[in-house]
Amino acid sequence: MQDFIQEHFINRKNTNSSKWDNLAVRFNDNRDLLAMWVADMEFKTAKEILSAINERVNHGIFGYSLTPNSYYESFISWMKQYHNVELKKEWIRFNLGVVNSIYHLINCFSKENDSILILSPVYYPFARAVKDNHRKLVENELVYNEDNGEFCIDYDKLEKDIVTNDVKMVIFCSPHNPISRIWNADELKKCFDIFKKHNVLIISDEIHQDFTYKKSFISALNYEEYFDNLIILNAASKTFNLACLLNSHIIIPNEKLLAVYDEFAKRFNQIETNIIGQLATEIAYKKARYWLENVKEIIYKNYLYIKDEFAKDEITKNIIISPFEGTYLLFLNFSKVINENRMKEFIQDDCMIAIDYGDWFGKDYKGFMRVNLATAPIHIEEFVKRVKNQLKIKDYR
């Protein structure tokens, strides 16, 4: 693992990195904060991907391009081998990214003032996309167990929220960001049965599908009985650290929904193929599984380090860590050791760490933070050191 880190770890400061070079704007802080936010990595992607990109760059022409059959074959094979999904080429459409796709799908399949539901706390661009497009946001709160940090779904409340608000669409997240839950088969079926019963269109964001630990991910594409109400979004961008190559998938198994989307795309989403993004994705799915496995090992050891180190200390042992099942994001509850109104004072002003604050994901989570584990252990160790040391010298309760 150490050899892999030495070969792939990159200092991203002064490279126009959103995570490292946008702190003054996002956090109103010009200091040298330790960046533990933004869901991308400090690891350069696999050498096979870089080699293919370099070869294409040296070709020197970046004109209009086609998506080759070999791309579809690599993606379909990946989904079959690692997610037991029988994916069909005709279901696949492309976009610049999952968030971009959510914006388009809201406009395609709903109208202004329609109700759209999210399960909170959840990735904050979901709520932003609903509000930006003048739809009614319905937040169904997940049930939180303070004893173990686990979140679960209240199905009665979910159905009540749908009926009461006449919900037309749900933006579902699996694995769920930021709580790192992988929904099991029973949970998925209970949710999807409710959505189907009330004719709610499911937009399932599965971009973190390849990050699983001790538990298997189940794609909604495994359930043909829900295809009439289902659209899947995924990409290789999280898996192989390719976010700004702008290539993602919209998967629509139902012919009628696909026809509606294609008509919409004719008018509002006429994008060309991103030749570099698609090349990188194809090569990643063909040749870079080993790279992903190395990164996952680092991520899981980073999680264990935080968990073990916090457990050793009389103060930090009271920090509640949500079970780590999927994604590379850890959700931490500091409410027993820090007054929720002093989170910024503690983590940003005193520890000098940039994190995703819990209330970005839902209004009731001010005492929480999301931490990115997809980084070198040296950053994780520094994060733990700063948190433990600061809590020893100052009482934030």
pLDDT for 271 equals 84
Is the model's pLDDT at 3 over the cut of 90? yes
Among 3.40.50.740, 3.40.1160.10, 3.90.1150.10, 3.40.190.290, what is the CATH number of 2-46+290-389?
3.90.1150.10
pLDDT for 142 equals 98
Q: How far apart are CA 246 and CA 141, in angstroms?
A: 31
Is the model's pLDDT at 270 over the cut of 90? no
C-alpha 213, offset from chain centre: 15
**Mean pLDDT computed over 158-187:** 98
pLDDT for 298 equals 98
Is the model's pLDDT at 308 over the cut of 90? yes
pLDDT tier at 261, thresholds 50, 70, 90: very high
pLDDT in tens, 176-234: 999 999 999 999 999 999 999 999 999 999 999 999 998 999 999 999 999 999 999 99
Q: Assign residue 38 a region (left: φ > 0; alpha: ψ between -120 and 50; beta: otherwise).
A: left
Is the model's pLDDT at 93 over the cut of 90? yes
pLDDT for 30 equals 87
Q: What token pair was written down for 322?
A: 């949500």
Contact 317, 361 (CB under 8 A): no
pLDDT for 196 equals 98
Is the model's pLDDT at 283 over the cut of 90? yes
Residue corresponding to tokens 């009389």: 314
pLDDT in tens, 57-90: 999 999 999 999 999 999 999 999 999 999 999 9
Give the bridge partners for 150, in sequence order: 145
Domain residue ranges of the chain, discontinuous segments joined by +: 2-46+290-389, 61-287
61-287 — its CATH code?
A: 3.40.640.10
pLDDT for 177 equals 98
Contact 236, 207 (CB under 8 A): no
Average of per-residue pLDDT values in the chain: 97
| Backbone angles phi and psi of 261, in degrees to 5 | -65, -45
Q: Looking at residue 135, what DSSP letter applies?
A: P
Give the bridge partners for 385, in sequence order: none
Measured CA angle at 330 (ends 162, 41), to 5 deg: 110
pLDDT tier at 345, thresholds 50, 70, 90: very high
**Mean pLDDT computed over 268-279:** 92
pLDDT for 211 equals 98
pLDDT tier at 155, thresholds 50, 70, 90: very high
**Mean pLDDT computed over 29-39:** 95
**Within this chain, domains 2-46+290-389 and 61-287 share the same CATH topology:** no
pLDDT tier at 269, thresholds 50, 70, 90: confident
Is the model's pLDDT at 251 over the cut of 90? yes
**Mean pLDDT computed over 373-384:** 98
Q: Indicate whether this model's pTM tops 0.85.
A: yes
Least confident of 26-30, 129-133, 365-369, 384-388: 26-30
Q: How far apart are the first and last CA of the chain?
A: 39
